[in-house]
Structure 1
Amino acid sequence: MMSRLIGDMQRHRRTLSTTVVEETVAAAATLVSKWHPDDHHSSLFLHASSPEADHFLRAAADLHRAMLFFASDPTNAHNGHGLVQAHHLLDTAMRRLQLELPRLLAPPPAGSRDRLRALADTMMSAGYGKECISTFKEHRRAALAATLRRQHTTVQVQLSKLTWEQVDDNIQSWLAAARIAFSSVFPAEKELCDTVFAGDASVGDAVFEDVANNQAANLLDVAEAAVARARRAPERLFRVLDVHDALTEILPEIMSVFGDRSEVAKRGCSALFKAGEAARGALANLEVAIEKEPSKATVAGGGVHPLTRYVMNYLVFLADYEGALDRINQQQGSPERSWSIGWLVQVLMRKIEAKAGSYREAALRHLFMANNTHYVARKVAKIPSLGDDDVAKIPSLGDDDGEAQDAARRHVEAYVRAAWGKVLKAIAAADGVEVEEAVMQAVAKQEKWNQFSEETLHT
C-alpha cells in the first residue's frame, strides 16, 4: 500500500514537472518564432528592447534544459516528442544568435560586449560552441585584416618585386603601422576575445591566436623581407636601424599580448636578431669601403677629401642611433667585436693619413692633413656620445676637441714652413725673380688654407 502511494506521488511529480517544462517550451516557441532567423531585416540585439533580448537568451537556455529533461526518460514516448520539439526550437534559436553575432561585432556598439559575452555563453552552454567560435573567428579575421590594411597596404610577397626606393617608402609606413598594430590593435582584439569567451580562458586564448597570429606574422614578414632586401649595404643601414628600433619597441607588447612562448614572439625575436645582424654587416661593409676606397687622385690644393665629408656626415647622422648600436652590440649571440662611431672615425683617419702620402709636395701634404683633421674635429664635436677616451684613440685628433684643433694647427704650421721655404731660399740666394714667384706661390697656398678653413665651418 505504501509503495503504491509513493509510486503515485512520483508519477504526479513527474507529470507536474512535464507540464511546467512543456509550458516553458511553448513560451520559448513564441519568442523564437517572433525572431526567426529567416527574418534578416531586424536585429534582436540592436532593434529590440534590452529585456526582450535577455528573455530570448533565457528562452534558449530553457530549451536546452528542456532537452535534458526529456532525454532523461527516453522510454516515455511523450518525452520523445518533446525532445524533438525542444531540439528543433533550440536549433532555430541558435541560428538566430549565430546571425546576431556578426551584427554585434561590426563594429561593436557601445555596451555590446556584455551582450556578446551573454550570447557566447548561451551558445557554448547549449552545445553550439563550435558554431559560435567559427562565426566569431570568421568575422574578426576579416575585420582585423581590414583594419591593418588601412594602416599598411604592402603584402610581404610583393616586396621582392619592388625597387629599394619603393621598399624604403613602404617601410616608412610599416614603421607607424607596426607600432599601432602591436600597441593598440592586437591588444584590443585580445581584450575582445577575453571578454567574449570569459567563461573559458583557454578558449579565448585559442580564438585570439586563430584570429591574430597570421596578421601578426605578415607584419613581421615585411620587416624581415625589408631587412633582407637591404643586403647589408651601408647606405641602407639607417632604414635597417629604424626597423630594429621599431621591433625593440614592439617586442614587449608582443610578449604581453601573444605570450613569450608564442610563435609570434619567436618570430619577433628572430626578426629583431636578423635586423641586428644586418646592421652589423652594413657597418662591416662601411669599414671595408673606407679602407679600400680606390681613388688615387689627390684633392686640388690639399682640400677636404670627398671621403672625409661623406663618412663624417654619415657618422653624425648615425649618432642619432647610438641606442640601437648599443643594443646591437649587446645582442645575444653577437661576436665579440663591437661597433662604434669612434672606431669608424679611427678607420677614416688612418685612410686620410695614407692618402696624404699621395702628395709630392710636403706643403700640400700638411695642408691636406690640416683641412681634413680640422673637418673631422668639427664633426666629432657634434657627436656628444664620443667621450674623451674615444677621441684619444683617433689618429691625429688627440684626447679632446682642443687637442684636435692643436693637431690641425700643427699641420698648418708645418704647411706654412714648407710653403714659405722657397721664399727663404730665394732671399738667401738674393734672386729677386725667384723671391717674387715664391712669395706669390706661398700667398696662394695660404689663401687656399683660409678658403678651405672657411668652408669647413659650413659643411
Structure 2
Amino acid sequence: MMSRLIGDMQRHRRTLSTTVVEETVAAAATLVSKWHPDDHHSSLFLHASSPEADHFLRAAADLHRAMLFFASDPTNAHNGHGLVQAHHLLDTAMRRLQLELPRLLAPPPAGSRDRLRALADTMMSAGYGKECISTFKEHRRAALAATLRRQHTTVQVQLSKLTWEQVDDNIQSWLAAARIAFSSVFPAEKELCDTVFAGDASVGDAVFEDVANNQAANLLDVAEAAVARARRAPERLFRVLDVHDALTEILPEIMSVFGDRSEVAKRGCSALFKAGEAARGALANLEVAIEKEPSKATVAGGGVHPLTRYVMNYLVFLADYEGALDRINQQQGSPERSWSIGWLVQVLMRKIEAKAGSYREAALRHLFMANNTHYVARKVAKIPSLGDDDGEAQDAARRHVEAYVRAAWGKVLKAIAAADGVEVEEAVMQAVAKQEKWVAADEEMGQVLRAAATAAVVPKYRMLYRRHGATLRLTPGDVNAIIAALFGGIIATPSSC
C-alpha cells in the first residue's frame, strides 16, 4: 500500500516537472520562431530591445536544460519526443546566435562586449562551443588582417624574392605599423578574446593565438627580410638600426600579449638578435672599408678628402642611434669589440694620416691634415657623446696649422732672419705662387690659416722693412695683402708701414 503511494507521488512529480518543462519549451519555441535564422534582415542584438535579446539567451539555456531533463529518462516514450523537439529548437536557436555573432563583432559597438560574452557563454554551455569559436575566429582573422593592411601595405608573400630596394621602400610604413600593431591592435584583440571567452581562460588564449599569430608573424617577416637583405652593408645600417629600435620597443608588448614562451615572442627575440648581429657586421665592414679605401690619389690643394666627408657625415647620422648601439653591444654579452663612434673616428684619422704621406710637399701634407682634422672637429662637435674629443680634434687641427706655417713660410722667415731683402722678396713670391691653388676646408679654416701665416710673417717683415725699407719693393702692407688673398680670402688694401 505504502509503496504504491510513493510510486504514485513520484509519477505525479514527474508529470508536474514534465508539464513545466514542456511549457518552457513551448515558450522558447515562440521566441525561436520569431527570430528564426532564416530571417537575415534584422538583428536580435542590434535592432531588438535589450530585454528580448536577454530572453532569447535564457530561452536557449532553457532548451538545453530541457534536453538534459528529457534525456534523464530515456525509457519514457513521451520524453523521447520532447528530447527531439528541444534539440531541434536548440539547434535552431544556436544557428541564430551563430548568425548574430559576426554582427556584434563588425565592429564591436559600444556596450556589445557583455552581450558577446553572454552569447558565447550560451553557445559554449549548450555544447556549441566549436561553432561559436569557429565563427569568432573566422571573423576576427579577417577584421584583424584588414586593420593591419590599412596600417601597412606590404604584400606579405614571397618576401624572400623581394630586392633590398623593395623591402627598403616598405620599412618606413612597417616601422609605424609594427608599433601600432603590437602596442595597440594586438592588445585590443587579446582583450576582446579574454572578455568573450572569460569563462575559460585557456580557450581565450587559444582563440587569440589562432586569430593573431599569423598576422604577427607576417609583420616579423618584414623585419627579418630587411635584416637579411641588408647583408651587413654599411650603407644599409641605418635601416637595420631602425628595425632594431622598433623591435626593442615592441618586444615587451609581444611578451605581455603573446606570452614570453610563444612562437611570436621567440621570433621577435630572434629577429632582434639578428638585427644586432647585422648592425655589428655593418660596422665591422665600415671599419674595413675605411682601412682598405684604395684611392692613392691626393686631393688637389690639400682639401678635405671625400673619405673624410663620407665617414664623418655617416657618423653624425649614426649618432642618432647611439642608444641602439649601446643596446647592441650589451646584447652580445662580452663581445670582442664594443662598437662606438669614437673608435670609428680614430680609424678614419689613422687612414687620413696615411693618406697625407702621399703629398711630397711637407707644407701641403700639414695643410691636408689641418683641413681634414678641422672638418672632423666640426662634425664631432655635433655628436654629444664624444665630449672632449671635439677639443682634442681642434687642438690637433691647430698643431697641423702651426706645422703648415713653419713648412710653407719657413724659407721666408729664414731669409728675414738673414736680412737678405732680395731673397726675402723672392721667397715671399715663391711661397705665394706655391699656395695660390691650395684650399681651406671652409672659410673658418681659411681665416685660421691666413691669421697664422700673417702672425708669423708680417711682424718680422715689418721689422725688416723698418731697417732695410729702401732696398725692398714690398711693403708690410703688401705682404699682409698677399697673405690675405690666400685660401679664398679677399684681396685687401695694403696697410701702412
Q: Which TM-score applies when normalising by structure 2?
A: 0.85
Encode CA deviations 1:106-154: one digit per residue, 9 max, x unaligned. Answer: 0111110000000000000000000000000000000000100010011
Measured after TM superposition, the shift of residue 420 of structure 1 is: 1.8
Structure 1 unpaired stretches of 5+? 381-391
Cα distance in 2 between the residues matched to 1:442 and 1:123:
98
1:2 is displaced (CA, Å) by 1.0
SS at match of 1:449: coil
The answer to whether the Cα contact below 8 Å between 1:71 and 1:83 also exists between their aligned partners in 2 is yes
**Alpha-carbon distance between aligned partners in 2 of 1:214 and 1:190, rounded to the nearest angstrom:** 14
Q: Which has the larger radius of gyration?
A: 2
Identify the range of structure 1 (105-114 vs 163-172) with the bigger mean alpha-carbon deviation: 163-172
TM-superposed deviation, 1:414 = 1.4
- Quote the offset at 1:43 in angstroms: 0.7
Closer, same or farther: CA 280–431 of 1 in aligned 2, 3 Å: same
Structure 1 residues 310-459: aligned runs within 5 Å? 310-332=310-332, 335-380=335-380, 400-424=389-413, 436=425, 438-443=427-432, 451-454=440-443
1:38-187 → structure 2 map (5 Å cutoff) = 38-187=38-187
Equivalents in 2 of 1:287, 1:365: separation in Å? 24
Q: Is the 8 A contact 1:397 1:407 kept in 2?
A: no
Q: What is the distance in 2 between the residues matched to 1:275 and 1:396?
A: 23
- Matches of 1:396 and 1:273 in 2, distance apart? 25
Deviation at 1:374, TM superposition (A): 1.4
**1:372 deviation in Å?**
1.0
Q: Structure 1 residue 337: deviation in Å?
A: 1.5
Stretch moving more, 445-454 or 269-278: 445-454
Shift in Å at residue 160 of structure 1?
4.2
Residue 164 of structure 2 contacts residue 229 of structure 2 at CA under 8 Å; is this kept in 1?
yes
Distance 1:215 1:395, change over 3 A: closer
Deviation at 1:329, TM superposition (A): 0.1
**Structure 2 residue matching 1:451: 3-state secondary structure:** coil
In the TM superposition, what is the alpha-carbon distance from 1:429 to its structure 2 partner? Answer: 9.2
- SS of the equivalent of 1:6 reads helix
SS in 2 for 1:334: coil
Task: Return the offset for 1:161.
Answer: 4.4
Kept after mapping to 2: 8 A contact 1:329/1:338:
yes
Among all aligned residue pairs of Structure 1 and Structure 2, give the percentage whose two residues are the same amino acid.
98
Tell me: CA distance 1:125–1:398, structure 2 relative to 1, closer, same or farther (3 Å): closer
SS at match of 1:62: helix
Q: Deviations over 1:422-449 (max 9, x none)?
A: 4356678999887555323423566767
Q: In structure 1, what is the Cα distance between the partners aligned to 2:334 and 2:132?
A: 48
Contact 1:302 1:364 in 2 (8 A): yes
Structure 1 residue matching 2:384: 3-state secondary structure: coil
CA deviations 1:268-320 (Å, max 9, x no partner) are: 00000010000000000000000000101101111111111111111111111
Aligned-partner Cα distance in 2 for 1:399–1:125: 71
Task: Indicate how the Cα distance of structure 1 residues 169 and 437 shifts in structure 2: closer, same or farther if over 3 A, else same.
Answer: farther
Equivalent pair of 2:371/2:440 in contact (CA under 8 Å): no
- Which of structures 1 and 2 has the larger relative contact order (alpha carbons within 8 angstroms, sep 6+)? 1
Instruction: State the SS of the aligned residue for 1:108.
Output: coil
TM-score scaled by length of structure 1:
0.91
Would the alpha carbon gap of residues 332 and 14 (structure 1) be closer, same or farther in structure 2, given more than 3 Å must change? farther
2:225 is the counterpart of 1:225: yes
Contact 1:164 1:229 in 2 (8 A): yes
How far apart, CA to CA, are the structure 1 residues paired with 2:309 and 2:496? 12
Stretch moving more, 419-428 or 122-131: 419-428
Q: Note closer, same or farther for the CA distance 1:254–1:458 as it changes in structure 2 (3 Å cut).
A: farther
Q: Deviations over 1:400-427 (max 9, x none)?
A: 5444323222211211111123435667
Q: 1:204 to 1:395 in 2, by over 3 A?
A: closer
Report the equivalent of 1:305: 305
Are the equivalent residues in 2 in contact too, given 1:349–1:394 (CA < 8 A)?
A: no
Call closer, same or farther: CA 1:422–1:159 in 2, change over 3 Å: farther
Alpha-carbon offset, residue 221 of structure 1: 0.6
Query: Does the 8 Å CA contact 2:374/2:441 hold for their aligned counterparts?
Result: no
Contact 2:364–2:404 (8 Å) recurs in 1: yes
Contact 1:247–1:272 (CA under 8 A) maintained in structure 2: yes
CA deviation string 1:382-402 (max 9, x = no partner)? xxxxxxxxxx99999996544
